Amino acid sequence: MFDMFENYNQEDETSSVSLAVKPVIVVSVGGSVIAQDKLNATLMAKFANSINELRKEGFEFILVAGGGKIARDYIATAKTLGIQNNFVLDEIAITVTRLNALLLIQAFEDAYPDVLIDVKRIHGILESKKIPVFGGLIPGFTTDTVAASIAEYTGGIFINLSNQDGIYNVDPKYSKTAHLIPKMDHEKLMRVLAKKDSRNPGENMILDAFTCMILNRSKITTFVLNMEDLVNFENAVKGHEFKGTIVESISALETEI
């Protein structure tokens, strides 16, 4: 009789453990986190500190470094030198994102030491308690697309950290009446962002169309946050109140209502 209850308790424990497992968090670290006018070691170190604290609480991370202004400078210079081939311009920018990724790795004690190019290696690296770090992967993509694809592959959450507070109804760079949308579903994400993207090398959008499509097709929970406020980033990860945008599936939004 007691055996029966022991088994019951064991099963109960197992199910509560599996419920408590947190999804991996894939952070698209915008190029603007790594460099504004010049490379910003202070912000990278602060970001690493936040990630380290969150990892102590059991959150797991995968990082994808962006190219930002440095990549755009390289693209502009290559164009001045006569390069018109978008594939080649993208390849140049990808190399910059990988260099940024290698630099970002240096801010962490527990990052895997090489910039990754194979998504299938993620599980082994996470099992060894290291942080996988990527840059760009494929011409025509952005690093947001890389991060969204990795979130899709790992069943994770996607966080975009950039110099913008969240997703606005219209681009705040061009409209004074733009307002931040704190919460939306994936269909609205597609309506607000996906149509305005011509996917030119170095084009700068908060989330490009292909990224939105991946987030939408797999209904990936998405946060868009400003990298300046890392306490806000930590709050979002922990499920506390935060400033920014969350994109959730309609069923998740309905559950909250």
Give the integer Cα–Cα distance in Å for 162 and 113: 24
Closest-CA residue to 161 (of 50, 10, 14): 50
What is the size of the binding site for ligand UTP (CB under 6 A)? 26
Q: Cβ closer to ligand UTP: 76 or 252?
A: 76
Least CB distance from residue 101 to ligand UTP, whole Å?
A: 10
How crowded is the C-beta side of 7, counted as CA atoms within 13 Å? 4
**Per CB under 6 A, does 148 bind ligand UTP?**
no
Least CB distance from residue 247 to ligand UTP, whole Å?
A: 17
Give the integer Cα–Cα distance in Å for 184 and 187: 8
Q: Cβ closer to ligand UTP: 94 or 192?
A: 94
Instruction: State the residue number with the nearest CB to ligand UTP.
Output: 66
- The contact pattern for ligand UTP, residues 63-102, with x = CB under 6 A and - = no contact, is ---xxx--x------------------x--xx--x-----
Give the integer Cα–Cα distance in Å for 219 and 167: 17
**Per CB under 6 A, does 32 bind ligand UTP?**
yes
Give the integer Cα–Cα distance in Å for 13 and 17: 6
Give the integer Cα–Cα distance in Å for 137 and 192: 26
Q: Which residues bind to ligand UTP, rule: CB under 6 A?
A: 30-32, 66-68, 71, 90, 93-94, 97, 136-144, 146, 162, 201-204
